[in-house]
Structure 1
Amino acid sequence: MNLSRMLAARAAEGRPVTVGVIGAGKFGSMFLAMAARRPGIHVAAIADLSPSRARENLERIGWEKDRATARDLDDALARGITFVTEDAAVVNDERIEVVVESTGNPAAGIRHALAAIEARQHVVMVNVEADVLAGPALAARAAKAGVVISMAYGDQPALVCEMVDTIRAMGLPVIAAGKGTKYLPRFHESTPDTVWGFYGLSPEDAAKGGMNPQMFNSFLDGTKSAIEMAAIANATGLEPPEDGLMFPACGVQDLPHLLRPVADGGILPRKGMTEVISSVERDGRPVMGDLRWGVYATFEGETDYIRRCFSEYGVRTDDTGRYAALWRPYHLIGLELGVSVASVALRREPTGCSDAWRGDVASTAKRDLKAGEVLDGEGGAMVWGKCIPASRALREDTLPIGLAHGVKLLRDVPKGAALRQSDVALDVDNEAVRLRREMAEGARGVLAAE
């Protein structure tokens, strides 16, 4: 409860938390809009592949014109302004305390995180794709280096982690946790060419808004949901589903009824799961009390007294009073990211961190794929991501969605099948591939010991 006071104290001392941001897209820009208003945080450097685009975004979000005019990092630190560059290595300066990685590219995210850890800097990973691909391995390296790597507050995984941790700290068992989205089974086949129809937009209107069809398609086709649930599993110990998310249609009033074990009348195979709920019924009708933009957790009152307390204070429960739910209707994305920056710098505490490999996202064919084709990755026209246990991913050698971009197929894969790593020509010298395989080998060793 003291982060704002701690930031104010740093501001009063004239030594704000120094931050380097890599990637000034939507999420990064939302954080930058707030950082400019938060005494105690100084964004000293912004690295983006297109500095001109980054400057346009800064103007659009209301930055003063002279705020991003530093000649170099020395000038930025001396004058309390910002240096904008295309060179991501600039942020790995010992005078920058926190690196915010918000590129959305898993290979780039791993590369940037490793560089920051080597430079003894804390890392806030907006890049959930990189976190799911090799987050536990990155966390182990960060711990060894004495720095913190954290999920991004404002993004749904970190908010779910906070909710789960709070409930557990009370002493209540968490039964399920996750988020809401708009889902229909046919969305799995959506491509960047068809995505805008599902959103009720024309391609022209989407282009005017600067909306990236492949990114939005990842949200629609279920891949982003799978990535976020795998991240939550890796950070909380909740279990991912064995064969993909169910996406049940569910409003907040039904959370404790549906998100409880099958044995007690719900849909969960067991207690302690991750799941995503849909804001529409399977016939397309809107769900009453939907949680499309929010997060939730269900939990259990294990004694008559605790269940009576639920009733006395109006807690939403199932018909038995045993299972209850909390939820948050919205998340504010990058507008909330300053919480992570302050937490890692001032408390040395992450707002969610992948501490073990429990969940993964398997690349699944959207159509019949032919040998020789080159995969177009997350949100593309060829594969979507299915959330599965890491043990299954290891056993079946599935191709993680984070490695499914720009790689050539070596054999045909039928529609609906999970791709295996042996189905594609992976670059064994690629840093992301190497780290992922290092993590997998470590997991095999643990399983062998058991």
Structure 2
Amino acid sequence: MFLYDKLMARASERPVGVCLIGAGKFGSMILSQIPTTPGLTVRVVADLRVDAARAACRTVGWPAELVERTDFTDDTMAAIMRDDVDVVVEATGHPRVGLAHARAAIAAGKHIIMVNVEADVLAGPALAREAASAGVVYSMAYGDQPALVAEMVEWARCCGFTVTAAGKGTKHLPHYHQSTPDTVWGHFGVTAEYARAGGMNPKMFNSFVDGTKSGIEMAAIANACDLAVPSDGLLFPPAGVHDLAHILRPRSLGGVLERAGITEVVSSMEVDGRETADNLRWGVYVVVEAPNDYAAGCFKLYGMKTDSTGRYGAMYRPFHLIGLELNMSILAAALEGKATGSSRAFVGDAVATAKRDLAAGETLDGEGGYCVWGKLVPAARSLGEGALPIGLAQDVVLTKAVKAGDMVRWSDVTLAADDEAVAYRRAMEAAERPSLAA
């Protein structure tokens, strides 16, 4: 309860001040917790749609007087610079924009909570180093799956267990990689009309279906926890919680993993389309190996779900509440100077991969679109093959044809010479290349 005690002390002094950038679904979930959290206040909400941001606060139940005393603006940089802001929460989901916001927050001496995992995977190790040099916290977003997995990996290692696999669950079948904004709603079991009426963004939802979001999130986990990633993309094996420890162990022992100590996503669907029993669609997990026979015996004694040998056991959480839990990141940063997970190394990358045969002259439409999906590969492979990160595959023109299933490369596209996001990513690649080549 120490963090809560510190929060209560701030409630009687000066509440922790937050600048929230982006009042979409994740942002709205953050906002819903503010009225019931003493010692924490949102000073300013920055969004291109100011009226929509104000309406979001009313929708989640803010009393009129709280809406009235909160500032709303479309001038994000001015909001970041405010003296009454301690923590900046970047929740736009746009990698280029998120990169700029994070760097501005760090330069202004503000802690930055990077809900925007797309930006984190694009250049998280570089942002983390920049934040450390400035004496501020750069953190993953607690409540989102990468931070929850990082917490479980930390638990396992501190307890003396070896991490065999870590990741999340999702609904996935092999043909989902070709999903587009035109086909996405069928996978969710709703009509396009229903989705439009509910304000559901087809590209955003499609990024969850086509495997891009999974690739991005597993890259973030690998980079924060120094876990390996599959050599040629996620496998998405079907697995219920009762089978996690059996399936997510090395192939040499009958599992599906090419090696131990790796990130992987389990599917809630069998390959024939049936729902997997006891699936982990909304949850996260870590599979650990017992260090000795005594510990393995304790796994069984205390009801841990293990493989047939009893040596591998699964710890899991069946759901995550994304923005409803983000206060943990905000308060850890502001009150304890700690991150709830942060990129430490460039281990995994999510790279643009053609959904269909692409012709020279086509314009890529980024994450969740019609052209490419984000495939998880080792960072060393990404650099060695000159792969284009999915975070930079928006509004760029192909100069060469790319076959379906192939990675798009830097050399296949035209990029603006003055693109700051490209320059920052390229500088990070140059800095990381020697260590990855070693």
The verdict on a shared fold, with TM-score over 0.5 as the criterion, is yes
Asked if residue 424 in structure 1 is aligned to residue 413 in structure 2, the reply is yes
Q: CA offsets per residue over residues 269-304 of structure 1, 9 Å max, x none?
A: 111000000001001001000000000000010211
| Partner AA of 2:380 in structure 1 | S
Residue pair 1:94, 1:119 contacting (<8 A) in 2 also: no
| Partner AA of 1:308 in structure 2 | G
Equivalent residue of 1:226, what SS? Answer: helix
Asked if residue 269 in structure 1 is aligned to residue 258 in structure 2, the reply is yes
Query: In the alignment, which of 358, 382, 392 is matched to residue 347 of structure 2?
Result: 358
1:22 to partner: Cα distance: 0.5
After TM superposition, list the pairs within 5 Å mapping 1:118-157 onto structure 2. 118-157=107-146
CA distance in 2, matches of 1:119, 1:141: 12
CA distance in 2, matches of 1:447, 1:52: 47
CA distance in 2, matches of 1:92, 1:217: 34
Query: In the alignment, which of 325, 333, 349 is matched to residue 314 of structure 2?
Result: 325
Residue pair 2:43, 2:84 contacting (<8 A) in 1 also: no
Asked if residue 5 in structure 1 is aligned to residue 5 in structure 2, the reply is yes
Asked if residue 88 in structure 1 is aligned to residue 87 in structure 2, the reply is no
Residue pair 2:203, 2:368 contacting (<8 A) in 1 also: yes
1:188 to partner: Cα distance: 0.6
How many residue pairs are counted as aligned between the two chains? 437
| Partner AA of 2:131 in structure 1 | A
| Partner AA of 2:72 in structure 1 | V
Residue pair 1:120, 1:145 contacting (<8 A) in 2 also: yes
1:124 to partner: Cα distance: 0.2
Residue pair 2:237, 2:265 contacting (<8 A) in 1 also: yes
CA distance in 2, matches of 1:258, 1:119: 47
| Partner AA of 1:186 in structure 2 | H
CA distance in 2, matches of 1:178, 1:128: 15
From the superposition, tell whether residues 426 and 344 of structure 1 become closer, same or farther in structure 2 (CA, over 3 Å): same
Residue pair 1:94, 1:120 contacting (<8 A) in 2 also: no
**Gap regions ≥5 residues in structure 2:** none
Query: In the alignment, which of 374, 383, 395 is matched to residue 384 of structure 2?
Result: 395
State, as a whole percentage, how many aligned pairs show the same letter: 57
Report the counterpart of residue 76 of structure 1 in structure 2: none
CA distance in 2, matches of 1:270, 1:310: 22
Asked if residue 379 in structure 1 is aligned to residue 368 in structure 2, the reply is yes
| Partner AA of 2:38 in structure 1 | P
CA distance in 1, matches of 2:2, 2:202: 40
| Partner AA of 1:10 in structure 2 | R
Report the counterpart of residue 61 of structure 1 in structure 2: 60
Equivalent residue of 1:57, what SS? Answer: helix
Q: CA offsets per residue over residues 65-120 of structure 1, 9 Å max, x none?
A: 23233xxxxxxxxxxx3100001012222331100000000000000000000001
CA distance in 1, matches of 2:94, 2:270: 33
1:428 to partner: Cα distance: 3.2
| Partner AA of 1:233 in structure 2 | A
CA distance in 2, matches of 1:206, 1:138: 35
The alignment yields a C-alpha RMSD, in angstroms, of 0.9
Asked if residue 280 in structure 1 is aligned to residue 279 in structure 2, the reply is no
Residue pair 2:80, 2:108 contacting (<8 A) in 1 also: no
| Partner AA of 2:161 in structure 1 | L
Equivalent residue of 2:306, what SS? Answer: coil
1:63 to partner: Cα distance: 1.1
Report the counterpart of residue 31 of structure 2 in structure 1: 32
Query: In the alignment, which of 157, 162, 186 is matched to residue 197 of structure 1?
Result: 186
Equivalent residue of 1:36, what SS? Answer: helix
CA distance in 2, matches of 1:87, 1:65: 23
Report the counterpart of residue 244 of structure 2 in structure 1: 255
Q: CA offsets per residue over residues 144-163 of structure 1, 9 Å max, x none?
A: 00000000001000000000
CA distance in 1, matches of 2:417, 2:251: 43
1:447 to partner: Cα distance: 4.1
Residue pair 2:80, 2:104 contacting (<8 A) in 1 also: no
